[in-house]
Amino acid sequence: MESLPWPKGQKLVHLDLKGAPPRVEYLHKLIDLFSQLGVNGLLVEYEDMFPYEGELKLLQATTHSSYSREEVLSLQEAAKSKGMEVIPLIQTFGHMEFVLKHRTMCHLREVAHCVGTLNPHKEDGVKLVMEMLRQVVELHPDLHTLHIGADEVYMLGEGEESKLWLASPGQTVEQLFLIHVAKVAKAIKEAWPQMHIIMWDDMMRGMSQDTLNDSGLIRLVEPMLWDYTPNLDVEKTVSLLEKYCSAGMVDVWAASSFKGSTSVHTCVPNTHRHVENHRQWLKVAASVSATVKLKGIALTGWQRYDHLSVLCELIPVALPSLVTCLQLLTDGQFNADTQRKVTEKLGISSVEVENMERRSQGRTLAHLIVDLNSFLNSEDVRYFEKNMFVRGWFSPYHQHRKMVSPLITMQIHRQASTYLTVLQQKVEAVREEMVHFYPDSTVQEWFEEHVSPVLIPLQRIRDDITVLNLWITKSFRFFQGL
């Protein structure tokens, strides 16, 4: 079954720009690479990197510059020259953190403490969404398809207006969700009648076929069913796709993952994990009935779990995973020949990024990140505060009473200093490469999130011992209190 390649249709690569937005020059290089691998579309999640104007200008990123209008157009031209469609992904219900975090927008939240979910009862919310979409459509002159998000609409039904609405007999949270999405979809169709509309499917998975039949979404939206796990349940997924089809949503999409779905803070992807996810999707594609029109698959590469979370794996370090998954979809299987094609295409020695050699620029950065990540996660370095000597002879009790063994603290100081020297060398090497791909603010954020949690404790121990040794040297009171 899995020996069949992915059926004809679109292969989209997802560019999640809400974190670590690549420099435009690097995006153009990626488009060249994607075109050689059978990719015929980009699912671009702009978020705060889109150059919103007027009253929406406050949505633009503040830690770095959003892409300019010229850069957005150049991205489309580069994609078009390679036969790729650009599909913007604009959140319209859940995951609107980058919008609703602003003080002037916070009144549009479903509940005050949930920054991501729009209040479905406020007409100003729909007006806001439509103005966002209008600006995006205007800057995409050849646009045929929009993705309106609508996944993970947390806390829906918990707002006061929703509670009042739900108090009426027969009204449910499911209906509340469907009414808002239908309102947005109908407004899009009124403004742009030929526009195709994709949406995430997860909020509809538990709905009955009757509920879907009465949803008002039939022939309006195309569900994109996402599952990023290596043990994806094929039978359940096929059943879901066929349920949507039976409800009248004949055009459906799949969404897999090549990075950004292992854990919220993963730094280096595991290619095997993502390969297994795509193998399962191949089984799904081979198992669905002929009535299901599987229009394509989006290989998602999340850069953050949401707007307010830390950075996941960067694109350069995830390229072996992405290229391997694309090759798997083309070949229909993962074997030695598949791996050979990938390693030759990228000029690397292994599809697992931990094992690949340093050759070209992007893979030099990947290798340096892997090397740094390995050092940061070594037990001796990451848990230095918990080693026998620090816990046994330099505990808070010892430090507070200044009753330490100079012999052992000198040993701790020497080891901490050695680790810091090595760490700083590795950090500088990564920094020098990373600035070629990402803005300075991204580089700084990446180091604060991935390096500082290890760096700061090492510096603190080294500096505390230095200060304490100076005090001991001056006072000659080596064992006060014993």
Catalytic (active-site) positions:
152
Cβ(419)–Cβ(442) below 8 Å: no
232 in helix, strand or coil? Answer: coil
Whole-Å CA distances, 34 to 12, 38, 119, 329: 10, 7, 38, 13
Residue 249 · residue 221 · CB < 8 Å: yes
Q: What are phi and psi of 102, to 5 degrees?
A: -75, 140
CA 121 to chain centre: 29
Q: Give the tokens for residue 289.
A: 């009935």
Task: Give residue 359's Cα distance to chain centre.
Answer: 26
Q: Distance (Å, rounded) from C-alpha 422 to C-alpha 183?
A: 57
Report CA-CA distances (Å) from 65 to 57, 440, 442, 449: 12, 11, 11, 21
Element (H, E) at 298: strand 293-301
Separation between Cα atoms, residue 326 and residue 6, nearest integer Å: 10
Q: Would you call 344 helix, strand, or coil by DSSP? A: helix
Is beta strand 85-88 parallel, antiparallel or unpaired with respect to 222-226?
Answer: unpaired
Q: For residue 29, which amino acid is it?
A: K
Pairing of strands 196-200, 10-16: unpaired
CB atoms within 10 A of CB 76: 21
3-class DSSP state of 237: helix
Q: What is the CA radius of gyration of the chain?
A: 26
Determine the Cα–Cα distance for residues 6 and 83; give it in Å rounded to an integer.
19
Tokens of residue 344, six digits: 């030759």
For the beta carbon of residue 32, count every other beta carbon within 10 angstroms: 11
Cα separation, 147 vs 41, in Å, equals 13
Termini Cα distance of the chain = 74
Q: Which residue has the tokens 């050092």?
A: 375
